[in-house]
Amino acid sequence: MDHRLADLLQLLELEPLEVNLFRGESRDIGAPQVFGGQVLGQALTAAAATVAGRVVHSLHAYFLRRGDINAPIVYQVDRSLDGHSFSNRRVVAIQHGEQIFNMTTSFQVTEGGYDHQIDMPQVPPPEGLPDPAPAPELLEKLPDKVRRFFSHTRPFEFRLVQPVDYLRPKPAPPLRQIWVRAVGGRLGDDEMLHRRLLAYVSDFFLLDTATLPHGTSFLKPSLIMATIDHAMWFHRPLRVDDWLLCAMDSPSASGARGFARASIFARDGRLVASAAQEGLIRQR
């Protein structure tokens, strides 16, 4: 297994402290605070540790405070419901005695029912698209903040259907499609693992989609961006070790907030998940 993915899998595992109480560590990915996807993934780990025989189908989370990369995060789970088909959990993440995040998530027994979905957009396959990482010679010329973000090795690889120039952004429609896949080959068949990893990576590009019409990007020092809330729905079995297409759009930005949503498709066209996010987008 690739060492980057192995490190992420270790990061998503938590230390049990007491019944319904867990502790996790953090990783520095080049951002000034704990990456939101890390907290999502760890919170799902905590919730899933209290559920048996059911798989997560939705989550709704709020990011309350910036996480400190240098301090552990404690996750407290409330077992809100264990019904005939569904289990509901509320997870609170705590650092330095304060809540930094809370999430409600629901698990369901696997069962059949009506089945329909929207069509996957017609886009080029990932093999024909370039890696969005800057070339090494360009990386050396970038400001420290930008170089730090792009030089960090990641456990996922991305292929952008629409190229984005983060350093010289121009106004564009609020639409984006990105192929994403975990590095390092095939993972196991644990559905919960694949859903935790998708939750982790879902926080990478969503909110940035809301900046596209305005000719700016998260790398501009004049722009403040932070996730406020994040929701996901898991529709069908998925694998993050094969390419997934994240088709994103931003219907609205107003009141210093941007809203974005994503339909996530397996390579065979199945709609496997949906996501939505609202975040702060404020000019200094």
What is the set of active-site residues?
203, 227, 277
Distance CA 30, CA 7 (A): 16
Q: Provide φ and ψ at 128, rounded to 5°.
A: -95, 5
Q: Judging by DSSP bridges, how do beta strands 86-95 and 156-160 pair with one another?
A: unpaired
Are 14 and 23 contacting, i.e. CB atoms less than 8 angstroms apart? yes
Q: At a CB cut-off of 8 Å and minimum separation 6, what does 235 contact?
A: 117, 271, 272, 273, 274
Q: Provide φ and ψ at 144, rounded to 5°.
A: -55, -45
**Total count of residues recorded for the chain:** 284
C-alpha distances in angstroms, 153 versus 54, 112, 174, 282?
33, 40, 27, 28
DSSP-assigned states of every residue in 65-131: SPPPTTS-EEEEEEEEEE-SSEEEEEEEEEETTEEEEEEEEEEE---------PPPP----GGGS--
